[in-house]
Amino acid sequence: MSVSGIILAAAVVGGTGLVISVLLGIASEKFKVPVDEKEVAVREVLPGNNCGGCGFAGCDALAKAIAAGDADVGACPVGGVPVAEKIAEIMGVEAEEGDKMVAFVKCAGDCQKAKSKYNYSGIEDCVSAISVPGGGPKTCAYGCTGFGSCVKACAFDAIHVVNGIAVVDEEKCVACGKCVSTCPKHLIELIPYGRKYRVQCSSREFGKPVKEACQTGCIGCKMCTKQCKYDAITVEDNIAHIDYEKCVECGACAAKCPAKVIL
């Protein structure tokens, strides 16, 4: 091949490349998707756990929702107040003050306190266990099965099965809610951090059947409601419930509870 042929080929290739790059540049400008700077800034602040505790598919989805005004600046349970304050600054609003929330297991029926009907030898999974007769091996059909589906769901190592029941490490818990939604018996709820008084039972039985199944169980006697001057504790479906917005932690309910289930 002659020198002129080589030069011509190089010129054609170079010219073609130049034309393509120009066309790509024009296309990128014409079809580019606008980027919300606030969305990018919010995403950088979010912790990136993608746990779904905020109710969105992940941190990207939450950042987009916050930037669009469809989610609160404090919607990330993992980031808590520090992240909420940073996002509020980005969005030009004030972060609302709120209590730190933690998961709480409403069952005290461990291996010593709760009776068993039979020895379970199936799949060690709470959802599988409650499908057998009686809702699991424990005599109390409402109690924690202790097979740890909540433990597997927690990405923060904040919940473990101890002596047959799930126990929350409040210092690690970020209130993402995964354990709450995973528990097939709905035994876990989110409550304000550091609250001293809690009803650690979910049985809907009344009186004697409760005591026959578990040494520690609410018998639905309503003694607690009679002691509370603040209307902060009620009994529904034979189980006591504390309204933490009204509770002043006077301890009157716990002092008079005959079953000692208010801890």
Contact 155, 49 (CB under 8 A): yes
pLDDT above 90 (res 255) = yes
117 pLDDT tier (thresholds 50, 70, 90): confident
> Options 2.60.120.1130, 3.40.47.10, 3.30.70.20, 3.10.20.740; which CATH number does 99-194 get?
3.30.70.20
> Residue 254 phi/psi, 5° resolution?
-65, -35
- For the chain, where do the domains classified as CATH 3.30.70.20 start and end? 99-194, 195-263
Partner residues linked to 242 by β-bridges: 233
Tokens coding 119: 């020895």
Q: What is the pLDDT of residue 34?
A: 65
pLDDT (tens digit per residue) in 161-191: 999 999 999 999 989 899 999 999 999 999 9
DSSP state of 161: E
Q: What is the mean pLDDT of residues 141-147?
A: 92
Long-range contacts of 154-157 (CB under 8 A, 24+ apart): 154/178, 154/179, 155/49, 155/51, 156/51, 156/78
pLDDT (tens digit per residue) in 152-165: 999 899 999 999 99
254 pLDDT tier (thresholds 50, 70, 90): very high
C-alpha to C-alpha distance for 128 and 101, rounded to whole angstroms: 29
Closest CA relative to residue 239, chosen from 219, 211, 261: 219
- For the chain, where do the domains classified as CATH 1.10.15.40 start and end? 37-91
Identify the CATH number of the domain defined by range 195-263.
3.30.70.20
Three-state SS at 58: coil
Full-model pTM: 0.76
99, with CB counted inside 10 A (0-12, 13-18, 19+), is middle
The CATH homologous superfamily for domain 37-91 is: Electron transport complex subunit B, putative Fe-S cluster (1.10.15.40)
Percent of the chain whose pLDDT exceeds 70: 89
Q: What is the mean pLDDT of residues 60-78?
A: 89
Q: What is the pLDDT of residue 206?
A: 92
Q: What is the mean pLDDT of residues 245-252?
A: 94
Sequence length of the chain is: 263
pLDDT above 70 (res 89) = yes
Percent of the chain whose pLDDT exceeds 90: 54
C-alpha to C-alpha distance for 183 and 151, rounded to whole angstroms: 10
140 pLDDT tier (thresholds 50, 70, 90): very high
pLDDT (tens digit per residue) in 230-248: 999 999 999 999 999 999 9
**Side-chain-facing half-sphere of 58: CA atoms under 13 Å:** 4
pLDDT (tens digit per residue) in 27-48: 666 665 566 788 889 999 998 8
- Give the DSSP H or E segment for 37: helix 37-45
Q: Which of 3-7, 75-79, 94-98 has the highest mean pLDDT?
A: 75-79
